[in-house]
Amino acid sequence: MSELYRGKPSKPLLEAVSSEEFVRLGQTIGEEFEHLKRGHELVCNFIKQFKEMPQIENAVHREYEEIFSDPVFALQRTYDASSGEAILASLKEFFGRESWTPPEDFPTEPDHISVECEFMVHLCAKSRRAIIDRKPDLVHENLYAQRDFLHKHICNWIPALSKELAKRAKSDFYRGLAELTDGFIAVDKDVFNAIMEMAG
């Protein structure tokens, strides 16, 4: 998700979603994950319309410019202006605890959707390492951090952005991206709630 929202989708990313491997992923998505299944289907339908990669790139890049050229939408937030400072301070605290900074080629806004998604990738990778290293205390601590970040930031405003993206989208590519976004957030919420219940 961080790559899809980082800017104009790159050629390697579009090649990945155009591959047979990506198409076959649809067979592994259960019916209970309706947003993920629908999003995958929409993206695949979009890709099928074209014969050559340059055509796909042109269509996606053109629509990206139309949708995200509006800075109010591109950085849409549902929190009001008075809470913005607190939100940014919270992000600074999360990033600081992890000694994490966004990669250089990412947007400079700390609450940009791609930056927040990339931070979740960082936390997931950290959990994976802790599991491999058999450090249960670190796994537990990191899962709490992931859950808190999800609820305080990801779920704070990204669902509203996704809803607006679905309205503005003209092609199945960005309609599919909106569905995938909703799907990943829903899965993450369910997974973390279940893990926290088991952890007590």
Ramachandran region of residue 99, left (φ > 0), alpha (ψ -120 to 50) or beta? Answer: left
What pTM did the predictor assign? Answer: 0.87
169 and 63 in contact (C-beta within 8 Å)? yes
**At a CB cut-off of 8 Å and minimum separation 6, what does 61 contact?**
8, 9
Q: What does the pLDDT look like over 58-85, one tens digit per residue?
A: 999 999 998 887 766 655 566 665 577 8
Write the CA distances from 52 to 42, 142, 160, integer angstroms: 18, 43, 34
Position 116 confidence tier, pLDDT thresholds 50, 70, 90? very high
Query: What integer is the mean pLDDT of 1-23?
Result: 93
- Rounded to 5°, the CA angle 154-106-40 comes to 55
Query: What integer is the mean pLDDT of 125-141?
Result: 89
Alpha-carbon gap, residue 21 to 25, rounded angstroms? 7
Structure tokens at 10: 């790159």
Q: Where are the beta strands (DSSP E) in 61-150?
A: none
List domains and CATH numbers for the chain. 2-199 (1.10.3480)
The whole-number pLDDT of residue 197 equals: 63
Alpha-carbon gap, residue 115 to 107, rounded angstroms? 7
The whole-number pLDDT of residue 165 equals: 92
Structure tokens at 138: 């670190």
Query: What integer is the mean pLDDT of 154-170?
Result: 89
Q: What does the pLDDT look like over 54-65, one tens digit per residue?
A: 999 999 999 999
14 and 54 in contact (C-beta within 8 Å)? no
- Rounded to 5°, the CA angle 77-42-110 comes to 25
Alpha-carbon gap, residue 1 to 199, rounded angstroms? 28
* Sign of the CA dihedral running 111, 113, 117, 120: positive
Whole-angstrom Cα Rg for the chain = 18
